[in-house]
Amino acid sequence: MKHVNKKIKVAFPHMGTIYVAWEMALKTMGIEPYIPPYTSKKTLSLGTKNSPEAICLPYKLILGNFIEAIEGGADYVSMITSPGICRLGEYGKNIEQVLKELGYKANYIELSLYDGFRGMIDYLVRLSGSKNYFKMFNAIYLGIRTVFAVDELQSFLSYHRARETNKGDSEKAFNKAIKLIRQAKNAKELSKALKQGLSLISNVEIDKEKDVLHVDLTGEIYIVNDEFSNQNMERELGAMGVQVRRSLTISSFLKDAIIPKIFKKGETHLERAYRLAKPYLMRDIGGDALECISDVMYAKERNIDGLIHVSPFTCMPEIMSQNIFPKMREDVNLPILTLIMDEQTGKAGYVTRLEAFVDLMKRKKMKSQIKNKPNNTENKTAQKV
């Protein structure tokens, strides 16, 4: 690719807070990141209008993000690709073609994550024209560290949001923490920003004694991590006193896809998936299905109150998971809610389903607490017998 002296503006899809890491890596390389407007109904409508009807929701949102970015002045649009059994492998070529057909002049560039560090270096060389490997390693390192920092803040947010005294305080603190992370320019500043961010969230007034429910959120990774496409489910659940743990995070994905083994501690998500998904699913069938099946067993192992599975309409691997869940539900006695998201999903009906699910988990928890009380007469009789 030819590089002129003008600073190029590079855009990327939103997918929740992943833009923070893209921004960090590109800025470190001296490239100007272009952050498209956060995904909105307009983004979705732009994407839907220019997509095949049956394609999955993330494709439509990514395309919408790109159209808005190009119209806003981005010179390059870049996205992560990977080979795979599902449609993800086709996303890139299709999007590139559609943008051309629509007459947009911006360049399209892919980052192949499954090529590990080599793929990232290759991406940065193509984008910057630079051969400064020290700078590139630093950019990748900071980008990855940012992903981990944001995920840590996210999980801290979930703990506090379920217990906060004033609704919305934890999220305000979280947003301030993200601002601090975005201002960091090197590893030292990033660590400091994370520390300050965690402290901002922990200063929020909470009721530590509150009896909260614990839910694992699993499903297709884009929908799990993107508030727009999952209709900010974690906020809704937090307001109902539910602490949500994302089973699929960008950091867990990076651990499996690119971080070398010597830098990893303990079992990764994918390793656990191969261990726990059997006998329900014996091999990887694409997308995140294997991880989702194993997440049910992992939730059961930790005695979690329930599991929510979110997936885009027509997502092939997740249709398979949803067909396995009924049998798992019987075997593990765990409340599982499956939600399919698309551009038609209405907020009210979906919140009602969440409320009903929370009620179900509460009743189940209460029953088991009564059953396990030491002065329970049934227990006493059982002990005597």
Q: Which residues bind ligand SF4 (CB under 6 A)?
A: 56, 58, 86-88, 220, 287, 312, 315-318
End-to-end C-alpha distance for the chain, whole angstroms: 80
Dihedrals phi, psi of 47, to nearest 5 degrees: -70, -45
Taking the C-alpha atoms of residue 381 and residue 383, their distance in angstroms, rounded to an integer, is 5
* Pick 83 or 279: Cβ nearer ligand SF4: 83
Q: How far apart are CA 100 and CA 215, in angstroms?
A: 43
User: Shortest Cβ distance from residue 210 to ligand SF4 (Å)?
Assistant: 35
Q: How far is the CB of 223 from ligand SF4 (least distance, A)?
A: 8
Which residue, 307 or 310, has its beta carbon nearer to ligand SF4? 310
Is 8 or 18 the residue whose CB approaches ligand SF4 more closely? 18
Q: How far is the CB of 86 from ligand SF4 (least distance, A)?
A: 3
Nearer to ligand SF4, 238 or 317 (CB): 317
Nearest distance in Å: CB 222, ligand SF4: 6
Residue type, position 121, single letter: I
Select 180 or 250, whichever has its Cβ closest to ligand SF4: 250
Nearer to ligand SF4, 96 or 152 (CB): 96
Could you give the 3-state DSSP secondary structure of residue 304?
A: coil
Q: Which backbone phi and psi does 34 adopt, to 5 degrees? A: -115, 115
- With the C-alpha atoms ordered 18, 22, 28, 33, is the resulting torsion angle positive or negative? negative
The residue ranges of DSSP E strands in 186-231, in sequence order, are: 213-219
CA–CA separation, 121 vs 282, rounded Å? Answer: 34
List Cα–Cα distances, 120 to 88, 126, 317, 335, in angstroms: 18, 10, 27, 40
Phi, psi of 281 (to 5 degrees): -140, 125
As measured in angstroms, the least distance from the Cβ of 229 to ligand SF4 is: 10
Residue 75 or 226 having the CB closest to ligand SF4: 226
Q: Least Å distance between CB 289 and ligand SF4? A: 8
What is the closest distance, in whole angstroms, from the C-beta atom of residue 29 to ligand SF4 in the complex?
28
Q: In this structure, are residues 8 and 31 in contact, taking their beta carbons and an 8 Å threshold?
A: yes
